[in-house]
Amino acid sequence: MPSTLLIVDDEPSNLAVLTKVLQPHYRVRAANSGARALQAAQSSPMPDLILLDVMMPGMDGYAVLSRLREQPQTRNIPVIFVTALDDETNEEHGLRLGAVDYIAKPIKPAIVQARVAAHLELKQARDRLSNENAWLEAEIARRLSDNLVIQDASIHALAYLAETRDPETGNHIHRTQQYVHTLAWELSDHARFNRYLDPHAIWLLTKSAPLHDIGKVGIPDHILLKPGRLTDEEMAIMRTHAQLGAEAIEKAERAVARPLEFLGTAKEIAHWHHEKWDGSGYPDGLKGDAIPIPARLMALADVFDALINKRVYKPAMPPDEARAIILDGAGTHFDPDVAAAFDASYEDFVAIAQRYRDDEETAPSRESRARN
């Protein structure tokens, strides 16, 4: 299909001459005023190039060009001024406004044809480049989206694998993931946390949280599934799940071609979410700010969820009682500011617990327990 040109001139004779020169090669439309030119530029078929007279009554060519550049649908149409004003000052003014060329009257057909052809080729090249860039951006976005979906599916597959070893935990991974997200946003304006908890870090935290107990796949069944109290020796083995989880994620980090941030965050959570603020936790006895922030948030989320949900060895605790225990542990088990953030967002925690509550009728009957 030939390119479409819009010729704008208030003199019928000038329109006739330009039409005669260009019509054999292009689809030519004409307008005899600035106002009609603006209408024609936005109607179908939209012009690929505009040849615009400067000296017109009412709205001159400079005003028309300014209006064209203001509208998204017309701002990229190349405009060539065709005018008897052939001094350098007028030419510079037109080019500054955004014209791509300047042809002096009386026109020379060969020059008009050559310049029109050259600018149409440039526009077609720009359009191709723009289309290719748009396609590339869409393809990159699609592949990035696919990669994120694959990552999320892999994370949840691993988390569900751990959950199959300890099926009584039900929707534990969904609840703790949302608790951590809630705590992170609550703390994002806090002076102690705002340098770390930006939106990207919160996204990483939320993405990584389901892997916090991945190390439980390495705990023998006779310990993980034991319905009664563990012996000291059994408890020592049970506690190795934190180290096992961190080591598994570290091996995954080494296996990929480039570092993945969420694996680093997941490793911190898996390794240290059983550490306590006063240094009495495990596996490394970290104390205070030495405990990574992601692990501090998960520590509280994990304990709250364990308290309010039924286990073989205990009934579910009312959320208000669990709240009191969490707040009583501020400064010993939990970072005091994290505990305060929990208190401030307590109603959100309760809502999350309700949204992802375990279905009693479909809960597993296998005797197992979640151990902290």
Considering the domain boundaries, does residue 368 fall inside one?
A: no
Q: 62 near 97, Cβ under 8 Å?
A: yes
User: Does residue 220 share a domain with residue 96?
Assistant: no
Considering the domain boundaries, does residue 148 fall inside one?
A: no
CATH code assigned at 191? 1.10.3210.10
Q: Measured in whole angstroms, how far is the alpha carbon of residue 199 from the centre of its chain?
A: 10
User: Does residue 326 share a domain with residue 189?
Assistant: yes
Backbone φ, ψ for residue 48 (5° rounding): -85, -20
CATH code assigned at 88? 3.40.50.2300
User: Does residue 26 share a domain with residue 94?
Assistant: yes
User: Does residue 90 share a domain with residue 24?
Assistant: yes
Domain range spanning residue 91? Answer: 4-134
User: Does residue 329 share a domain with residue 181?
Assistant: yes
Prior bond of 45 cis (ω within 30°): yes
Considering the domain boundaries, does residue 238 fall inside one?
A: yes
User: Does residue 171 share a domain with residue 106?
Assistant: no
Indicate the number of domains in the chain: 2
**Helix axes 261-272 and 199-208, enclosed angle (nearest 10):** 60
User: Does residue 170 share a domain with residue 130?
Assistant: no
Catalogue the E-assigned strands of the chain: 4-8, 27-31, 49-52, 79-83, 101-104
User: Does residue 185 share a domain with residue 296?
Assistant: yes
User: Does residue 184 share a domain with residue 126?
Assistant: no
Q: Which two tokens stand for residue 296?
A: 């501090």
Considering the domain boundaries, does residue 146 fall inside one?
A: no
Considering the domain boundaries, does residue 341 fall inside one?
A: yes
Considering the domain boundaries, does residue 364 fall inside one?
A: no
Q: Where a domain ends, among 79, 114, 134?
A: 134
Would you write out the chain's pLDDT as a tens digit for each of its 372 residues? 799 999 999 999 999 999 999 999 999 999 999 999 999 999 999 999 999 999 899 899 999 999 999 999 999 999 999 887 766 777 788 788 889 998 888 889 999 999 999 999 999 998 888 888 888 888 777 777 766 666 666 666 666 666 665 555 568 889 999 999 999 999 999 999 999 999 999 999 999 998 898 898 888 988 888 877 889 999 999 999 999 999 988 888 887 767 788 889 999 999 999 999 999 999 999 999 999 999 999 999 999 999 999 876 678 999 999 999 999 999 999 999 999 999 999 999 999 999 998 765 334 433 334 455
Considering the domain boundaries, does residue 265 fall inside one?
A: yes
User: Does residue 346 share a domain with residue 197?
Assistant: yes
User: Does residue 173 share a domain with residue 43?
Assistant: no
Percent helix, strand and coil across the chain, each to the nearest 5: 60, 5, 35
Q: Where a domain ends, among 92, 118, 134?
A: 134
User: Does residue 181 share a domain with residue 42?
Assistant: no
Strands 4-8, 101-104: pairing is unpaired
Considering the domain boundaries, does residue 192 fall inside one?
A: yes
